[in-house]
Chains A and B, each alone.
Chain A
């Protein structure tokens, strides 16, 4: 152990952080700071010198998603043995939500837990500090760190730094009236404008077959202009939310302890937050969505339900509810599937997939083989049929001379993630600029990812 080394782990940054760190430097001269927040946070620049979390390596993401899936499965197993839980939640109104709950646990609870646990353990092993000061941790982070501190004989203390509050999310309007479908009808659940764009030609074709298209807006951001031929339905609460919360009271009244705890397990470290999550927070989104979908299907009676949500719990809820109402649920693939836990146990009546490779991968990950139909990717049809502008028009749009005869090299850059840290992205873009910049007969066009907003590329290119 490095006797004098004190690590400060920053989980959040605020304008007060610098003052706090200056005080810490005075007290602990051997202080090393590691920033665990988003690399793009502009406050990080004011906190120099600052160590940056580099990740354990390329397989870190796979490692923590696997750990998260294991923890979710263990929790489900314990809960399923409990008859109270089994009757009131897993089989709420005779709808089997096991997959949706597993998914919800995995994504919203254990992904962060597993990431924090592996990250802390890695840092402790690498730095071997005498003490750790963690800023503004949540309870789970503190429990995990305390658990590791015992194991590695380290002192841990927390420092609360005030952070700014986040703006409130937009809410959907309330809609009470749903008309039953006349004739064949596709009820498409969309969480993104892109899904509607990708499905436009499919909708047009179904309309030519005499079908009606109804689109359920799962997000307030969906723009009806994207496909005006459809009827849009808000995904809202067509009944008193208070009644629903009373109904969820059945979950609150559960008295059994959902987990067997041992002092050394991660599950112990996340208890009682996990227990709280299971009782109050987890049932709410799953049951509320299920209630709404159930009412929609009952009133509208579509011929087929469809969605592109194959990686979220919503797709799993839709399938479970569709089964109860005897309405088939189709999923249309919209992105490349990878060997990643969100693609596990995909369940739909039919799954329109891009190609043989996706089918094989998803079967390997637990999907039934007979649900698949290989259709290709709908959105690539536009790529084939599109009437492209001339090169001159494109060059003009890029701010280049229309007579520029240089060859265009496109770099499609990626945004920063734990698996794609700032330093690696910087090294890559610098290398590409050096190499492409040395070729006179070529011009480099960097296409930023839609979610990329940290200014790294613009800074390097300029």
Chain B
């Protein structure tokens, strides 16, 4: 690899990388979801014969590269405002709504409210007669 063409990192903030990147390549990692939420195109590298573990390519927010030649054909297209780039962008909203409900940043609020309601609806004082602690 020519000098300065590649950097390897492990503890750099992933979200910072995704926010500033042009695209993400992965095998099947769930970081694909983060990339979709940040509106980035995805390439899934799956050089085997099996189905992808997660449905990025099946639901068209990613392109699956089945071999190196294929990867070489896809990658430059996603570096420009190509038709493929636009197609992937178009599918992201539907994908987010199916798998992550919404990219509205309110998931914590909904979860907290669910916990609160669960406490209000189901909670009863524990009946000490039922507890057998020795």
The smallest beta-carbon distance between B25 and chain A, in angstroms, is: 5
Residue pair A398, B76 in contact (C-beta under 8 Å): no
For residues 49 through 70 of chain B, which have their beta carbon under 8 Å from a beta carbon of chain A?
Answer: 49-50, 53-55, 67-68
Specify which chain A residues have a CB less than 8 angstroms from the CB of B49 in the assembled complex. Answer: 57-58
Which of B2, B6, B75, B132 has its CB near the most chain A CB atoms (within 10 A)?
Answer: B6
Determine which of A306, A439, A458 lies in contact with B8 in the assembled complex, contact meaning CB atoms within 8 Å: A458
- Complex-state Cα separation, A48 to B117, whole angstroms: 62
Chain B positions within 8 Å of A204 at CB level: 108
Q: A375 touching B101 by the CB < 8 A rule?
A: yes
| 19 cross-chain CB contacts under 8 A | A59-B50, A201-B112, A204-B108, A303-B119, A327-B126, A358-B99, A375-B110, A375-B114, A376-B106, A377-B33, A384-B37, A394-B17, A410-B17, A411-B25, A424-B47, A431-B47, A431-B67, A437-B5, A446-B7
Contacting residue for B71 out of A435, A442, A447, CB 8 A: A435
Least CB distance from B9 to A in Å reads: 6
| A78 interface hit (Cβ, 8 Å) | no
Contacts known (A59-B50, A324-B130); A377 close to B26, Cβ less than 8 A: no
Q: Does A407 contact B (CB under 8 A)?
A: yes
Q: How far is the CA of A201 from the CA of B99 in the complex (A)?
A: 21
- A184-B119, A206-B112, A424-B48 given; A435·B72 CB < 8 A: yes
**Chain B residues within 8 Å of A338, by CB:** 53-54
| Chain B contacts with A in 100-134, Cβ cutoff 8 A | 100-116, 118-119, 122-127, 130-133
A447 CB → nearest B CB, Å: 6
Residue from A206, A301, A462 with most neighbouring chain B CB atoms (10 Å): A206
Q: Are B6 and A444 in contact (CB under 8 A)?
A: yes
- Of the four ranges (under 10, 10 to 19, 20 to 34, 35 or more), the interface on chain A belongs to 35 or more
Are B25 and A400 in contact (CB-based, < 8 A)?
Answer: no
- B22 contacts A325, C-beta separation under 8 Å: no
Number of A-B contacts (CB under 8 A): 267
**Which chain B residues have a beta carbon within 8 Å of chain A's beta carbons?**
1-2, 4-10, 12, 14-34, 37-38, 45, 47-50, 53-55, 67-68, 71-72, 75-76, 79, 97-116, 118-119, 122-127, 130-133
Q: Is residue A252 contacting chain B, with contact meaning CB distance below 8 A?
A: no
Whether A139 sits at the interface, judged by CB under 8 Å, is: no
Chain A residues near B15 (CB-CB < 8 A): 382-383, 386, 388
- Among A354, A409, A427, the most chain B Cβ lie within 10 Å of the Cβ of A409
Q: Are A58 and B48 in contact (CB under 8 A)?
A: yes
CB distance from B106 to the nearest CB of A (A): 7
Q: Does A209 contact B (CB under 8 A)?
A: yes
How many angstroms between the C-alpha atoms of A59 and B50 in the bound complex? 7
Closest to B127 in A: A326
How far apart are the CA atoms of A211 and B117 in the complex, in Å? 12
Q: Considering the complex of A and B, which 8 residue pairs feature the smallest CB-CB distances, nearest first?
A: A58-B50, A376-B107, A201-B108, A205-B112, A384-B105, A376-B101, A431-B68, A303-B119
Q: By CB atoms of chain B within 10 A, which of A304, A427, A439 has the most?
A: A304
CA distance A376 to B1 in the complex (A): 40
- CB contacts under 8 Å to B, within A272-319, are 294-295, 297-298, 301, 303-304, 306
Query: Of residues 425 to 450 in A, which have CB atoms within 8 Å of B's CB atoms?
Result: 427-428, 431-439, 441-450
Instruction: State A59–B10 Cα separation when bound (angstroms).
Output: 29
B45 touches A388 (CB 8 A): no
Query: Which of chain A's residues 356-390 have a Cβ closer than 8 Å to chain B?
Result: 356-358, 373-378, 380-386, 388-389
Q: Given A206-B112, A448-B10: A57 and B50 within 8 A (CB)?
A: yes
Instruction: For A376, list chain B residues within 8 Å (CB).
Output: 100-102, 104, 106-107, 110
Question: When chains A and B are docked, how far (Å) is the Cα of A461 from the Cα of B3?
Answer: 10
A294 CB, min distance to chain B CBs, angstroms: 7
Q: Is the CB of B126 within 8 A of A448?
A: no
Any B CB within 8 A of the CB of A452? yes
A125 CB → nearest B CB, Å:
19
B133 and A295 contact, CB distance less than 8 A: yes
Distance in angstroms between the alpha carbons of A74 and B102 in the assembled complex? 41
* B119 lies within 8 A of A389 (CB): no
Q: Which residues of B contact A428 (CB under 8 A)?
A: 27, 45, 47
| 9-residue interface stretch from A10-18, A65-73, A114-122, A328-336 | A328-336
Asked if B12 and A397 make an inter-chain contact with CB atoms under 8 angstroms apart, the answer reads yes
